[in-house]
Amino acid sequence: MKNLNQKLSDFLVDYRWYLFAFLIILTLGSTYFLKNLKIDNSLEIWFLKDDPALMNYNEFKKLYGNDEVVLAWIKPESSVYSPEFVSKIYKITEHIEKNPLVKRVLSITNSPYINGKDGELVVEDMLDKVPDNSYNPELLKQRITSNPLWKKLLFNKGETAIMMMIEPKASSDFDIKRPEVLKYVNDSLSGLNYKLVGMGVTYEELNKISIHDSSLFTSLSYLLLIITIYVLFRRGGLLLASVMTIFFSVLLSLNLFAMCKQSFNMISAIFPTVVIILCLSDAIHIFSHYDDTPVGENRLKRNLYVVLIPCLFTSITNAIGFASLVSSPMAVFKSFGLFSGIGVILAFFVAIIMSSIVIAHKEKKIEVSPENEKFDKYLGIFDKLLVKINSINQKKYKTIVILCSFLFIMGIIGIFGLKIDTYSMNFLLDNNPVKKDSFFIEKDYGFYLPLEVRLKPKGAHGVKSPEFLNKLSSLQETLDKDPDLSKATSIADVVKQLNKVLTDNKESSYKIPDTPEAVAQELLLYELDKENDLSYFVNDNYTEARLTVRIPNISSKVMNTIQERVRTRIEDTFKGDVDIIFGGYVPLYIKMMEYIVQSQIYSFTISFIFIFITMGILFRSLTVVFIGIVPNILPIFLTLGFMGAVGINLDIATVTIAAIVMGISVDDTTHFIFMYQEERNKGRSIPKSVEHTLLTSGKAIITTALLLIIGYMVMVFANVKSVIFFGLLISVTMVSALLCDLFLTPSLLILLSKKE
């Protein structure tokens, strides 16, 4: 490995300008693919294409259309039946319906009015024209209230506002078209007192935030890290190398990301920030160790002989930490992990090339430059701190190990309180208008998020069976009484209204007919009218019915509880006479909770195993590998335990922390142990080797840790709570990892190396 190290170092230094030219051509040439970048935060992006849950969701959309309905709450200045307001709603409804991306609109002016005239069934819109002098508010009110279904769905609780339901057409590229639909709806409702809610509204808000946060994180990270490097080092060469490393590493990684047609979302939005933060670590170690390399011929190459291998291995462990997320059953994590891992490896080579060019160009100046004196003087405070830390380690190493063991146990205890849950609406800050509108409408109108159920009766008459329909109607009444459920709707509502208008139009006739033949006859008459809406309630051959129940927009864990409660009510009602398939958005959302658990377990296990193997290859000693692993597991357990203690959930953003931190925090430990072994190979004693390593590598360890902490703390400016927690938790974890590298690692080396 030593010969390979020297050959690679010689190659990187001797051919640095050729490598630089190749890097420029590759980076600038691949910018062509940046046009492929897009933003997508829809639920489907979290799932693999062959995931059974996603396939079931797509089957539901194929049968019944898009369940991503946009719900508009609209409040008039006076009555909801006033001519002026109804006229506006009529025109707006008609205008939105003309949009080719919209499948249907339901409002108080165009909802199907089912009526019987001269023994014949008539289905028409509530209004057939814009209200004029002949318009009768009481007649419209009577038409709407005659059908309990529309009274239930189209008004708020006090009937002071109406609800307009806009269903976009389902298509494979709807995520791209969603912004256009929402803009069209907002433009159409302009001038009215209105609020929009729905899954699509939330997705689009998250898309906007992803764009904003990605730009903000990248810019702030770039600026803060450059400022930090200048303040700490006051060295133009390092500053230049850092700027160039960031530029080429991020651009090249983004180009590759775009080349593979990946999309940005609330997780991958931090991908550029991750690359920026990690690509500087190698440059700092190269420059720091260059100062400790004796002046003379081939100083740069001799410097690389020492730092190239640990830098390479730390980049590999970083990549492993990210790449372990490929084991996740969630598509978003697979993509983020894979491309972040590749980006880290690319950043390693970029950092070596840029550092070699800058150092070689300024090599003579660096040796005599007064900047070095300023640098050493400025970082003198680190030297004093490291001397003090070394004194503590040499005297109290057993106490430090015992204290860390106690903290390890405390972390495990805290982990037992860790909750696994995700809540999309809670990703948004409390002052976000979309979140505020959602809470308002749930209070003023009721629950609006649809829990979709496909019921397949086993009887000979299928959906047309009076027994099935009566049980379905009874089930709806039971569900509506549940405080966590509301506005249950199904084909039973349609059949009861048909029976009412086709008999005597009395309230007592609002019921299911007694025979299958009567049901079939009524449905046939309704089906013959082109204004019917049967396709939203049953499939073509009446072998299954759609039941829609509105539930609160809540966390996946609570949704799962509600879904299972609905399943139990269905089973209690039908006694095994129906097959139950949950469709639509909610089952996917619930499935995410299971995948979060798998992602955490799989990614951390894989990360741990492969990092353990990588360190074994580098150090070839189980004792040394143990010393390298323990100080990096402790910060993770402390962070997860802290999350459990204070109630921070493990969700789709924070689930990646363990694997990522495992890969990142092991960097400085690897550098420390590698340099320690170099000192031992020179014949120094264990205490002296620990002391010299701490005093020479300590400054680089502290500064790289500071850069990581500052870089991730940038995420506190995010507009998504989980991303804020992600940044804060990784920053806190890196603080504890730094303390472990400065105290626990040296203490373990002193304690355990004596036993070898």
What tens digit of pLDDT does each residue of 7-47 get? 888 888 888 899 999 999 999 999 988 888 877 766 667 78
Which has the minimum average pLDDT: 359-368, 642-651, 727-736?
359-368
Average pLDDT of the segment spanning 566-591: 92
> Which helix or strand (DSSP H or E) is residue 121 part of?
strand 120-125
Q: What is the mean pLDDT of the chain?
A: 86
Give the pair of three-digit tokens for residue 205.
Answer: 């808000």
pLDDT at 333: 82
Report whether pLDDT(520) > 70. yes
Q: Which ranges constitute the DSSP H helices of 362-432?
A: 363-368, 370-378, 380-415
Place of tokens 């995700």: 422
Minimum mean pLDDT among 51-55, 606-610, 718-722: which range?
A: 718-722
- At 725, list the tokens: 């927690």
Token pair belonging to 222: 């770039």
CB 497 within 8 A of CB 147: yes
Residue with tokens 């080429």: 248
Structure tokens at 699: 């400054």
Identify the pLDDT of residue 371: 43
Predicted local confidence at residue 724, as pLDDT: 81
373 pLDDT more than 70: no
DSSP secondary structure code for residue 32 in this structure: G
Domains of the chain: 2-19+204-426+590-753 (1.20.1640.10), 69-197 (3.30.70), 449-583 (3.30.70)
pLDDT average, residue stretch 191-207: 90
Residue 579, token pair as written in the block: 């097959």
Q: Report pLDDT for 375.
A: 40
88 backbone φψ class: left, alpha, beta (φ>0; ψ -120 to 50): alpha
Q: DSSP letter at 294?
A: P
pLDDT of residue 426: 81
Give ∠ CA 274-279-282 in degrees, rounded to 5. Answer: 140
Work out the pLDDT band at 246, boundaries 50, 70, 90: confident
Q: Among residues 301, 288, 211, 284, which one has the least CA distance to residue 246?
A: 284
DSSP state of 330: B
pLDDT over 90, % of the chain: 38
pTM beyond 0.85, yes or no:
no
pLDDT in the model for residue 403 = 95
**CA–CA–CA angle 445, 448, 451 (5° rounding):** 150
Looking at residues 650-661, what average pLDDT do you find?
72
Q: Using CA atoms, how far apart are residues 680 and 118, in angstroms rounded to an integer?
A: 103
Two structure tokens written together for 549: 């129940």
Q: Are 596 and 422 in contact (CB under 8 A)?
A: yes
Of 163-172, 183-192, 700-709, where does the model show the most confidence? 183-192
Q: DSSP state, 77?
A: S
Most distant pair of Cα atoms in the chain: their distance: 109
**pLDDT value, residue 754:** 59
Q: What is the pLDDT of residue 755?
A: 52
- pLDDT of 270 > 90? The answer is no
**pLDDT at res. 376:** 46
